Amino acid sequence: MDASFLAKQNFFFFCATLIMALDETTPVTVTGDDDSTTAQPLHPVTHWEQLNEEVEAQDNDADSLISDPAESTASMTSSILSYRTIQGRTFHSERGNAQYWASNDEQQNESMDIVHHFLSLLLDDKLFLSPLKDNIQSALDIGTGTGIWAIDFADQFPGAKVVGTDISPIQPSWVPPNLEFHIDDCTQPWTFAPDSIDFVHMRYLFGSIKDWSALFKEAFRTCRPGGWVESHEASAMMESDDGTVTDTSAMHEWGRFFIEGGKKMGQPCTIIEDDLQQKCMREAGFEDIQVADYKIAIGGWPKDKKMREIGQYVLAALEQDFEGYVLYMASQLLGWSMQEVKVYCAQLRRELRSTANHPFFRYRAVYGRKPQTP
């Protein structure tokens, strides 16, 4: 029995347990379009305090969403492992890109593994859309995170050498023999030889890249002629087709956290809105560029069975770690206290669990081929 099988069994048990804990949802058909804007300023915390007080008697479990405050510190001496601690949660070290917004502890990592699962369901259990050959020799996963995509890819292509890179060493040590992980910063010049990789995969890098043009140029340089580069990104904005995600809702505010935080860092979160994947891929020199757009439900409200299952996993991923997603943006960049974050997350949780709301977010996959050498 191999490591990936055991890991998947534990993962599916964890997901099933978490989803069963969520409130039951009723399928709803949605129609129309919503023209919500991201230009408005963030609501003051008093807005969420008022909403919180209105439902306090019906919902007394908000305290479980956020850990108790703890003084921010860096306790480990290694330059790679010197994680910062913010309100009891760890974030990657100061090495390289020191303003990545997501936590890197176990709670957040479990959430990201659920993200990997619902994205696999979205693609009908496929790991990629590019027309790869069965005899692919090499693959590179940029921003590998927990390494779960790279592990699955290495299992699928045992004859290929697979490398996953990330700024935090949070990957498992028990992996397929054809896979290795490197601690590397993709915003710096890549260390891979030119024309050396058959397939470059990048996913969920929004809010972590200052220069997307430079990123795709590095991918182009590294990719072998005739090879493929594939980029998957999500919009931070929660939307609805029926007006249930209102401008005053915590659901709408979620995306504005990331948009405003991204502006302050100089690392945009509006990748889909600005069409950066396709523009930068074309600028780098790729050809045969293909774009696949999706609307992913949050919660079990869709009538379609597949989209309902995906939506339940999306909600499970968020429920696993509201704090880890929003804490850095809110407290370090926008000046919110932990109490303010707690109040906001409590309201967001209520809205996402409500059967009356039908939120979704946009997701885009773009892939292109490096031209063959003349």
3-class DSSP state for residue 133? coil
Between 11-20, 169-178, 232-241, 287-296, the lowest mean confidence (pLDDT) is in 11-20
Q: Identify which has the larger pLDDT, 48 or 88.
A: 48
Instruction: Please report, for the chain, the start and end positions of each structural domain, with discontinuous segments joined by +.
Output: 3-25+38-69+102-369
What's the pLDDT band for 320 if we cut at 50, 70, 90? confident
In whole angstroms, give the CA distance from residue 366 to residue 284: 14
State residue 174's pLDDT score.
87
- The answer to whether residues 129 and 123 touch, using CB atoms and an 8 Å cutoff, is yes
- The answer to whether residues 158 and 187 touch, using CB atoms and an 8 Å cutoff, is no
What's the pLDDT band for 334 if we cut at 50, 70, 90? confident
The rounded percent of the chain whose pLDDT value lies above 90 is: 51
Global pTM reads: 0.77
Q: Which residues contact 243 (CB under 8 A, 6 or more apart)?
A: 32, 34
What is the Cα 120 distance to its own chain's centre? Answer: 13
Nearest to 208 by CA among 324, 327, 76, 92: 92
DSSP states along 12-68: HHHHHHHHHTSPP-------S-----S-SPPPPHHHHHHHHHHTTTT---GGGGSPP
In whole angstroms, give the CA distance from residue 151 to residue 174: 10
Q: Given a cut of 50, is residue 279 above it in pLDDT?
A: yes
State residue 257's pLDDT score.
84
Q: Given a cut of 60, is residue 220 above it in pLDDT?
A: yes
Q: Given a cut of 70, is residue 205 above it in pLDDT?
A: yes
- CA-to-CA separations, 149 to 175, 227, 357, in angstroms, rounded: 12, 19, 31
For the stretch 102-115, pLDDT in tens is: 556 566 667 788 88
Residue 77: phi and psi, rounded to 5, are: -90, -25
**Identity (one letter) of the amino acid at 166?**
D
CATH code matching the domain that covers 3-25+38-69+102-369, chosen among 1.10.8.100, 2.40.37.10, 3.10.180.10, 3.40.50.150: 3.40.50.150
State residue 85's pLDDT score.
56
What's the pLDDT band for 310 if we cut at 50, 70, 90? very high
Nearest to 148 by CA among 125, 108, 175: 175
Question: What's the whole-number mean pLDDT along residues 268-274?
Answer: 96
Question: What's the whole-number mean pLDDT along residues 28-50?
Answer: 52
DSSP states along 318-339: HHH-HHHHHHIIIIIIS---HH
Between 12-16, 65-69, 169-173, 327-331, the lowest mean confidence (pLDDT) is in 65-69
**Identity (one letter) of the amino acid at 237?**
M
State residue 195's pLDDT score.
97
What's the pLDDT band for 162 if we cut at 50, 70, 90? very high
**Identity (one letter) of the amino acid at 270?**
T
What's the pLDDT band for 99 if we cut at 50, 70, 90? low
The CA angle 323-78-83, to the nearest 5 degrees, is: 5
Q: Given a cut of 60, is residue 127 above it in pLDDT?
A: yes
- CA-to-CA separations, 189 to 111, 179, 193, in angstroms, rounded: 30, 22, 11
State residue 79's pLDDT score.
43
- The answer to whether residues 127 and 153 touch, using CB atoms and an 8 Å cutoff, is yes
State residue 210's pLDDT score.
92
Residue 222: phi and psi, rounded to 5, are: -75, -30
In whole angstroms, give the CA distance from residue 283 to residue 120: 29
What is the Cα 53 distance to its own chain's centre? Answer: 31
